Structure 1
Amino acid sequence: MLKVRKSVVSIGCLSFLTTLSMVPSLAHAETNTTSLFANNDPYKSIQLDTASTEPATTAQNVTSVSQLSDIKPTDWAFTALQSLVERYGCIAGYPDRTFRGKQATSRYEFAAGLNACLDKINEIISAGLADKVSKEDLATLKKLQEEFAAELATLRGRVDALDAKVTKLEAQQFSTTTKLTGEVIVSATAGTAGSKNSNVTLSNRTRLVLNTSFTGKDLLRTRLETSNNLVAASSSTTGSLANLLGTNTVRIGPGAVVTDNSFALSLLDYKFPAFDNKVNFYIAPRSFPDEFFTVLSPVASNGQGSISRFGRFDPLMRIAGTSSLFGFDWSITDKVRLQAGYGSSDPASASPGGSTGLFGGSTIALVQLLFKPADNLDTSITYANTYHQSGATTGTSSLGTGLTSNESISGVTGSIRANSIAGNLAWKITPKLTFHTWGTVIFADAVSASASTTFTSWITGLTLNDLFSEGSAGSILFGQPINRTSVSGAATLGAVNSTPYHLELFYRYRISKNISITPGVFWVFNPEGVSTNPTATVGVIRTTFTF
């Protein structure tokens, strides 16, 4: 590739071009530019000299050659540069006010500098100041135009094409502040539990998200969602997989706001920074804790992570089923963050005669401390205080995580107040192997009676990234779904007489950056903590499209 002094392109100057036009290696060089066009796009081949360690940055106009810190009066180009500033004012330096005249450039970069100088001369002539342009300079320009005619034509053609594209984009753009993203999940699912079976059924969930930023640092998200997660039983009845198999522990990953393929607003939140970007505030008329609080699990994603609902993350991120949330995220240091929030349930979910509003209905107050003791280790501890109103139809109340059917205080009706603690850990043992675990303890008390129940849940997992192909991953998960472990007062264990366990295997194969396929299977032993309940087996093939 033919190289010339980088200073020519940096300034697009006339006098300096005049000097260089007298150098045989440039003005009379052969015009073989095969290396430039090797990829059919000369602009992809334009690079700085590989020997240079200086970054390519945007040039800045200067009004005096003395503003260029690396140009001295003893330099051979000083006089030409000084004359150029005084006569035409088309000299530019780098943002740090350097000239970097020793850097090399290609013919196309040289042509770009020449084109900039031509534009400046045309401006002077159009302003009726042609007498300020010497005949010698005009002759030099003509000579250089002939030498670089092909490169100049390519540059101008490219600029015209870009202008046309910009005009089209401006006319057709959706918004200057909003970007549309989306995700479509299609799952083939089948399950069995003893004599209960479901046919293989296709379910789907589609999300469209409008991401809006007004300042470049804030973010307003509006998410529309539609889904159909009903499955068919072999007896020709339909319903959710949980209803067909008799346990919530078989619920698959993608939850559903609606089940009839109608669209609904599933998320509306706004996050903005303050205090030198150390604190992010969060306001959400419709949201859930996992949308704001940091989840350390690498398998938390609906479309890319665990195929089961239980395997994604700890129950505290679901507890109370909140639909509004206010919070803040404070980066205390590079290794310590504090997150806190308060949320309330949707008024439409209140029981008959129950209270509603920000402080009258079911509520949650949650605090999470995240600590990074090492670059490959992330930990967190979370506390939640929740209030759960009485159920609308049964007169009972549950914790609202949807991970088991036994989340109520057995033997007691009415509201529940719970204090919960969870711990999370994600350890990147190697760049591709991650060990992750969480454990949760929930202390639930009946509001209208002397009755208490302790619930526990935990999981451990290993995830191997780039398994068999780049971007793919495989995971194995083993844990205990939420289960009553002890009771006191009027509370009873009910039918619970054993410990439920969950075993899951899945592999996410990345076809492209926008498409992945995830086959997987999970088993639930002693569902709902009852030893006589048959083991449930669920198989899933999930296809995820993102855009």
Structure 2
Amino acid sequence: MWIVRWNSRFTFWLLFFLDISIILVMNPAKSQANIPESTSSTVSNTTLVPASRQSPVFFADRNNSMEEQVTPLSQLLSPVPKTSASPVSSHQVRSLDDNAAMGQVNSVSELSDIKPTDWAFQALQSLVERYGAIAGYSNQTFQGNRAMTRYEFAAGLNAALARINELVSAGTSDLLRKEDLEILQKLQNQFAPELAQLRGKVDSLETRTAVLQAQQFSTTTTLVGQAAIVIGGLVAGNNVVTKKPAPHNFTLGNYVNLKLNTSFNGTDQLRIVLTADNIASLGRTRSGILGTNDGKTSDNASPLFPNNEVIVSGVRYRYLLGSNTAINVFAQSDGAFELGLSGSISPYFEGSAANGISRYSRRNMVYNYGDTGAGVAILHNFSNQFQLGLQYTSINGNNPTENNGLFQGRYVALGQLLYSSPNKNFRLALTYANTYSPPNTTGLSGTNFGPAIGSNLANSTVAGRATLGNLYGAGAFYRINPSLAVNGWVGYSAHRYLGSGDADVWDWGVGLSFPDLFQKGSLGGIFVGMEPKLTSLSPNVNLGAGNGVADKDTSLHIEGFYQYQVNDNIAITPGVIWITAPDSDASNPDSIVVWLRTTFRF
């Protein structure tokens, strides 16, 4: 069995040379001069897009639909050119119509549909040549036969009055005739209500604009939030350790996630994620009410923090290195999840506080050994169809003590090659990860080693021994039609308990997705799989069941959910998780979890 132990220098230099090779040899990047910069210091709450790029790099941003989750790199890292209409001058009265107004005309002859024989010719000539208060359309017409509202006439009258005020202020009042002033006075009195309403609307708009400017959160930062209220519990099942019936109690919990996205130049992004929740896990490795990770839900709170304590669960900075490469440096992040390395294969199941009910239905175990931590990730496009992702995560990278730190402690180094068909209906991912955990170390999930899903033996280590793992995964996604998609994967992990022996762990899963089921925006899902199972173990290794004893039976994970989209911001998702032979032991009765999640996005 081939096992790799990456030391600090090997890990660092391999990632470094892979990056340099990609950028300089396989697909030379364009210079930074080719990256468009924002034309304003204010970053709008729109997707950052360069107009000239069609990159197939995908990021999952924890949304519901596949179309939202699988997003080209080009649509995340460069600004959308802002379009701003030129302000309408006080003379361009007719621009309220669908036709665009032309500038102030200097002679009535510039208007092609005005003839000297027209009954209003002299009036128009006076307004144009004496007062300069008439503007035509962009096709050089006046359209005098067009019907107008009293409000439009009031706006025109207001423009004429403004022009007269300009003439008076400029000392050219000798151009004003007494008859014209008397007519204007009568019109002003007659249209006083409309003029007052027009001025009132302008004043109100100015006031509201001032309030928005004073109260805006930030000119460079957008806030994206989601909250979930969850009712759920166990309706059948025993504790696999004590063999006694587990409590069948329902609970009411919550989950809150806030993302602060900041761009400093329009092509980069700093993301800070704040999280708080109080949803208790039904089981962990040999603990909890089930005594196993089988059937673990996706909404569980971290066991290392008090309930509803606000924690910084993510700090990541992303920038472009050329038009086809994105560099992500994170001080705290679940890199594979946030960067979309797993979401491209299960776009309808993977999300945060949405979609799949269980953690396992969302992604292969090859992505789950990492936990969260500090590190770097590189995403690069070879072409419109091929993407390479590289990620190095140090689980306890902020800890300076022995057997911890950025390079000497627990780590995961992951690489993935993703193929996407031209129409993006088919995707294939090949993934490899190398992971190492020193003895007696834990991460944010409270585990020392393993996928934190599946049987207890698959998540066990030998006390006082370091553990190595080589993980291999293959997954595919195929959208059969707009209303039906299928995805699946198989994963294999080779464990080595240093100084003791080896083990093999397998998992597989198949999911069916039904977008727009029963109504637009809703989603149905069915999933069947085998959570990680220890299939073989060296005869001299004891992981808690005896020397050389591996899991003896096969446990099936069966799950169904329906996400009812109430509106753009609210979704209600009932679901059920059924586990046969929990902990890969047929002597344990099946466990059933019922879940009802209501998600709010804002």
Q: What range is the shorter-chain TM-score in? A: 0.7 to 0.9
For 1:114, the equivalent position in structure 2 comes to: 156
Distance 1:109 1:332 in 2: 58
For 1:125, the equivalent position in structure 2 comes to: 167
- Paired letter, 2:325: V
Distance 2:276 2:311 in 1: 6
Written as runs of structure 1 = structure 2, the 5 A alignment for 1:74-473 is 75-76=112-113, 107=149, 110=152, 114=156, 117-118=159-160, 121=163, 124-125=166-167, 127-131=169-173, 135=177, 152-191=195-234, 192-194=236-238, 195-198=244-247, 199-230=249-280, 243-257=288-302, 258-276=305-323, 278-289=324-335, 290-294=337-341, 295-296=343-344, 297=346, 298-347=348-397, 353-357=402-406, 359-375=407-423, 377-392=425-440, 397-408=448-459, 414-446=465-497, 448-449=498-499, 451-473=501-523
Deviation of 1:325 after TM superposition, in Å, equals 3.0
Distance 1:100 1:449 in 2: 90
Q: Do the aligned partners of 2:455 and 2:584 also contact (CA within 8 Å) in 1?
A: no
Q: Do the aligned partners of 1:419 and 1:443 also contact (CA within 8 Å) in 2?
A: yes
Q: Do the aligned partners of 1:220 and 1:270 also contact (CA within 8 Å) in 2?
A: yes
Distance 1:117 1:209 in 2: 47
Distance 1:430 1:117 in 2: 57
Residue 450 to residue 244, structure 1, CA distance change in 2 (3 Å): closer
Deviation of 1:74 after TM superposition, in Å, equals 9.3
Find the partner of 2:567 among 512, 519, 540.
512
Q: Do the aligned partners of 1:229 and 1:240 also contact (CA within 8 Å) in 2?
A: no
Q: Do the aligned partners of 1:320 and 1:388 also contact (CA within 8 Å) in 2?
A: no
Identity level (%): 25
Normalising by structure 2, what TM-score?
0.68
The superposition leaves residues 478-534 of structure 1 with CA deviations (integer Å, 9 ceiling, x where unpaired) of 111111234458557534112221000112223333322222111112223233233
Distance 2:384 2:128 in 1: 50
Distance 1:416 1:215 in 2: 43
Q: Do the aligned partners of 1:320 and 1:401 also contact (CA within 8 Å) in 2?
A: no
For 2:36, the equivalent position in structure 1 comes to: none
- Paired letter, 1:279: T
Deviation of 1:241 after TM superposition, in Å, equals 11
Question: Which stretches in structure 2 are left out of the alignment for 5+ residues?
Answer: 1-86, 117-123, 239-243, 542-546
Q: Do the aligned partners of 2:455 and 2:583 also contact (CA within 8 Å) in 1?
A: yes
Find the partner of 2:599 among 519, 531, 544.
544
The superposition leaves residues 203-231 of structure 1 with CA deviations (integer Å, 9 ceiling, x where unpaired) of 22222332323334433222222222237
The superposition leaves residues 106-144 of structure 1 with CA deviations (integer Å, 9 ceiling, x where unpaired) of 648955973784486267337525359665987897788
Residue 123 to residue 228, structure 1, CA distance change in 2 (3 Å): same
State the secondary structure of the residue aligned to 1:480.
strand
Q: Do the aligned partners of 2:155 and 2:198 also contact (CA within 8 Å) in 1?
A: no
Written as runs of structure 1 = structure 2, the 5 A alignment for 1:13-24 is 13=91
For 2:72, the equivalent position in structure 1 comes to: none
Q: Do the aligned partners of 1:288 and 1:317 also contact (CA within 8 Å) in 2?
A: no
Residue 162 to residue 511, structure 1, CA distance change in 2 (3 Å): same
Deviation of 1:434 after TM superposition, in Å, equals 2.1
Q: Do the aligned partners of 2:233 and 2:594 also contact (CA within 8 Å) in 1?
A: yes
Residue 150 to residue 267, structure 1, CA distance change in 2 (3 Å): same
For 1:36, the equivalent position in structure 2 comes to: none
State the secondary structure of the residue aligned to 1:299.
coil
Q: Do the aligned partners of 1:47 and 1:105 also contact (CA within 8 Å) in 2?
A: no
Written as runs of structure 1 = structure 2, the 5 A alignment for 1:23-42 is none
Q: Do the aligned partners of 2:431 and 2:474 also contact (CA within 8 Å) in 1?
A: no
State the secondary structure of the residue aligned to 1:533.
coil
Residue 449 to residue 130, structure 1, CA distance change in 2 (3 Å): farther
Name the count of aligned residue pairs.
Answer: 484
Deviation of 1:12 after TM superposition, in Å, equals 6.3
Find the partner of 2:590 among 515, 535, 546.
535
- Paired letter, 1:252: T
Residue 293 to residue 507, structure 1, CA distance change in 2 (3 Å): closer
Q: Do the aligned partners of 2:439 and 2:463 also contact (CA within 8 Å) in 1?
A: no
Structure with the higher strand share, 1 or 2: 1
Distance 2:440 2:472 in 1: 27
Residue 353 to residue 105, structure 1, CA distance change in 2 (3 Å): farther
Distance 2:449 2:459 in 1: 4
Q: RMSD of aligned C-alpha atoms?
A: 4.3
State the secondary structure of the residue aligned to 1:304.
coil
For 1:481, the equivalent position in structure 2 comes to: 531
Distance 1:544 1:262 in 2: 20
- Paired letter, 1:266: S
The superposition leaves residues 24-74 of structure 1 with CA deviations (integer Å, 9 ceiling, x where unpaired) of xxxxxxxxxxxxxxxxxxxxxx873xxxxxxx88x7x86999xxxxxx979
Q: Specify which structure has the bigger relative contact order, considering alpha-carbon pairs within 8 angstroms and separated by 6 or more residues.
A: 2
Residue 349 to residue 314, structure 1, CA distance change in 2 (3 Å): farther
Q: Do the aligned partners of 1:63 and 1:85 also contact (CA within 8 Å) in 2?
A: no
The superposition leaves residues 65-123 of structure 1 with CA deviations (integer Å, 9 ceiling, x where unpaired) of 9xxxxxx9794469999x969985996987xxx76878989648955973784486267
State the secondary structure of the residue aligned to 2:554.
coil
Residue 145 to residue 432, structure 1, CA distance change in 2 (3 Å): farther
Normalising by structure 1, what TM-score?
0.74
Distance 1:146 1:546 in 2: 51
Deviation of 1:373 after TM superposition, in Å, equals 1.0
